[in-house]
Amino acid sequence: MLFLYKVIFYQPILNTLVFFYNTVAFRDFGLAIIFTTLLVRIILYPLFDKGSHQNMMMQRLQPKIKKIQEVHKNDKEKQSRALMDLYKEHGVNPFSGILLLIVQIPILIALYQIVQSSLGAAVLSQLYSFVATPGHINNIFLGFINLSDKNIVLVVLAAIAQYFQAKLAIYQTKGVEPSQAQKIASQMVFIGPIVTIFIFYNFPAAVGLYWLASSAFSVFQQLIINKKLKEKYGE
């Protein structure tokens, strides 16, 4: 398992960071993190797109889900079967939205380990043959942010971006009272950013910068997805 983690996540992230650091990032490790984040999110876009679509469909189906729960409230087996039939009919997987978050966890761990390692000789020895060894890597972003230390400003900005993305992801039919699931989603718009601040506050600023760039890109992606869904469903 550790070998797979290194091959699939750690080494690709390390090499991508160093490659960008040597080239388009102008030897600014913060910019290298931002470029790496954008590349990761472009690669993961199909997952984000599918997860957002599924989330929107789940919210659209809430009236039907509520009706099934009421009709079969005394028979959990029939209720579960009816819900599965409903999901199958509309091509919905209620757990698909979690996949993007799960995939990002090992990426965050890899980035944290890379920053904590100070990118010494032992770490840089894992570079691919076509990635040049940069020698000393400067951890200062934009000339004044030490990415090895914690930085509450980056974390708060990431939480704000996460708030707007979550707000955009909520589907609401005009004139229809929000379902329980939609009310929970509305609460999570505030809870998610608070959890983000709590979790990332003590992490190196490099991790906070990754989450900020990822959350900001998510806002951009959500706007595109919302436009596509509006064109598809006319709402």
Q: Which residues make Cβ contacts (< 8 Å) with residue 81, sequence separation at least 6?
A: none
Give the model's pLDDT for residue 180: 59
The CA distance from 158 to 173, in Å, is 29
Confirm if 25 and 31 have CB atoms less than 8 A apart. yes
Confidence band (pLDDT; 50, 70, 90) for 135? confident
Give the model's pLDDT for residue 97: 65
**Does the structure show a pLDDT above 60 at 235?**
no
**Residues 102-106: what's their mean pLDDT?**
85
Asked whether the whole model's pTM tops 0.95, one would answer no
Confirm if 38 and 218 have CB atoms less than 8 A apart. no
- Is the C-alpha dihedral spanning 40, 41, 45, 51 positive or negative? positive
Beta pairing partners, 140: 146
Q: Which tokens sit at 47?
A: 């997952």
E strand segments, the chain: 140-141, 145-146
Structurally, the chain folds into a number of domains equal to 1
For 27-76, the pLDDT digits (tens) are 999 999 999 999 998 988 887 777 777 777 777 777 788 888 888 878 88
Mean pLDDT of the chain: 84
Is 197 or 185 the better-scoring residue by pLDDT?
197
For 187-211, the pLDDT digits (tens) are 778 888 998 899 898 899 999 999 9
**Does the structure show a pLDDT above 80 at 26?**
yes
Helix (H, G, I), strand (E, B) or coil at 11: helix
Q: Identify the domain containing residue 114 by its residue range.
A: 2-233
